[in-house]
Structure 1
């Protein structure tokens, strides 16, 4: 019988993640058991499950993120790598890595630093493979991941392209991580990763794509799925308001309305930008309400409402590109009258 992934995610939150979220935030460390549980319950490969739909995907990812943002943030990066490897034309790479990736035995992060409008990571094609130089500004899960699905900009006589590589972190040289302290999900172990003459074999190529094609195809899906993060934060805020005896009818109605807009927005950039801005705005308002409901207790560092306020702030800018930023600023600007 197929798993009901949304219910499985709720159980994971109830039994593990939500119970330990405060301690993860306090210590800045994710217990290894969190990753073990994600694997034991099948969440590393759930994306490829039979019958997967956009609705199931969003509900599952946002639910996990609502339980422990740091754990969910690391896990969500891995899903991007799973999707890339699952649909690569490089059958040898897929056969070698995908089984371990879907079980959680081989966990990965992602970086799209070579696919940006202003790229920061470049590669030269040589007889040794690809030689990488530059930086990946944000790599999440350092110390928890074995591989990195990385997009790099390659300049050749025929023009520029984006090559996506699966880099085995323990098999390459020239990597220097610098920890980045975050206001929320700090336990996700996010680093700035410098590459210096890092050689990656040709056999690690996931895909080679023209720059414009890669950017347009990635941004549409990525902007959409990344909306699960503020949605998860909003769900966590609503749970906290219930704990304080607040009537959450209006919040739940707002959540349901926002959630219903996800599937129709897939593939529609403007609808996605508007939806992302509306969710992030709603999460900040709900977090503020949780602070007010808790009263003076909320000003204590690492109190749950204080943590949710930081998470909502984080969600305002995490994976937020200029069109979403513009839409959010319009919602935060006071009326002239």
Structure 2
């Protein structure tokens, strides 16, 4: 795929991790507490992401898995709510890039890469236990059912929705780019989250919602889910917990506590995580370690902060909620099982 020349020049040669650190220091981190308190992400956050090229950065020349995950985790470390909404857009972008629908790519790709057209995703509930259904009709599909989590409501223009599309002869999954700025026959129920609540995560219900065929990203058999694709998706999703861990370690340093052991653990996990891309079992194992480390670092931050941590909306209190959020956000059963084992009592007395 050939990028727009102006966009390609903008993406070329950037130190993306340093650019993300600058974004965090100048824009995201200073307002993270306010975003958490008000439940609203300022438009300036999305404008800054767009202005600095973060909606198209995965297509930058020389992009590697390690650079991608380090950059994503750094952005998320600045403001979890903002990073959570932004990360969904990158998932929709991957779907558009993989689509055979050239007309849809021609219509939206440039705007998605620039941040001018922002998207969410809903891929749950279309395979094992389908909850969203797409009935083929003349000119497209009619959606019915509900999807439990869609992030970014009110901030996004469309949602990439995966739905079960059984034709009678075979079971398929249709992925559709559904416009939501002026939704028709779509009901949204805001879900109160313990952390990243400003991400405006909702439950969407579809009632005879028509989606034209020119918005079809793909139609694939239900069993057409290669392990490599799942492994990559699960690996990318681990950037959320890694970003929370980074923020918790940063907080320890800001408190003047001895952050050395936590920093060393973070760097070891980050380096290991870069090596397991494509290995599903190893990805799940390291993700569990990262989420567990974030909880430990958040708890250490509470101890370092002292009694002020019991005051609502302090940084220490917020990070405990964010670390809890990271335990279950975008996780699968193997990650949960590993975490359950990690939280079992060791029998070792405190101080030994």
* TM-score, length-scaled by structure 2: 0.93
Which aligned segments of 4 or more residues in structure 1 are displaced greater than 6 angstroms? none
SS across alignment from 1:14? helix
Native 8 Å contact 1:16 1:34 kept in 2: yes
Q: Which residue of 2 aligns with 1:205?
A: 216
Paired residues for 1:158-177 under 5 Å: 158-170=169-181, 172-177=183-188
Q: Which residue of 1 aligns with 2:94?
A: 83
SS across alignment from 2:149? strand
SS across alignment from 2:107? helix
Count of aligned residue pairs for this structure pair:
337
> How many angstroms apart in 2 are the aligned matches of 1:215 and 1:113?
16
Paired residues for 1:66-105 under 5 Å: 66-105=77-116
Q: Which residue of 2 aligns with 1:133?
A: 144
SS across alignment from 2:313? coil
Runs of 5+ consecutive residues of structure 2 not aligned to the other structure? 1-11
Paired residues for 1:106-255 under 5 Å: 106-170=117-181, 172-214=183-225, 216-255=227-266
> How many angstroms apart in 2 are the aligned matches of 1:276 and 1:174?
38
Is the alpha carbon distance of 1:215 and 1:310 closer, same or farther for their aligned partners in structure 2, counting shifts above 3 Å? farther
Native 8 Å contact 1:114 1:122 kept in 2: no
Find 2:35's aligned residue among 16, 20, 24: 24
2:10 matches 1:14: no
Deviation at 1:70, TM superposition (A): 0.3
Native 8 Å contact 1:298 1:306 kept in 2: yes
Single out whichever of 65-74 and 259-268 deviates more from structure 2. 259-268
SS across alignment from 2:217? strand
Native 8 Å contact 2:135 2:143 kept in 1: yes
Deviation at 1:157, TM superposition (A): 2.2
Is the alpha carbon distance of 1:172 and 1:23 closer, same or farther for their aligned partners in structure 2, counting shifts above 3 Å? closer
Deviation at 1:336, TM superposition (A): 6.4
Paired residues for 1:314-325 under 5 Å: 314-325=325-336
Is the alpha carbon distance of 1:163 and 1:217 closer, same or farther for their aligned partners in structure 2, counting shifts above 3 Å? farther
Paired residues for 1:55-70 under 5 Å: 55-70=66-81
> How many angstroms apart in 2 are the aligned matches of 1:76 and 1:89?
23
Q: Which residue of 2 aligns with 1:37?
A: 48
Native 8 Å contact 1:153 1:160 kept in 2: yes
Native 8 Å contact 1:133 1:197 kept in 2: yes
> How many angstroms apart in 2 are the aligned matches of 1:248 and 1:193?
42
Single out whichever of 239-248 and 136-145 deviates more from structure 2. 239-248
> How many angstroms apart in 2 are the aligned matches of 1:303 and 1:215?
44
2:291 matches 1:280: yes
Paired residues for 1:296-335 under 5 Å: 296-335=307-346
> How many angstroms apart in 1 are the aligned matches of 2:281 and 2:342?
15
Deviation at 1:215, TM superposition (A): 6.8
> How many angstroms apart in 2 are the aligned matches of 1:308 and 1:11?
21
Deviation at 1:220, TM superposition (A): 1.5
Single out whichever of 307-316 and 128-137 deviates more from structure 2. 128-137
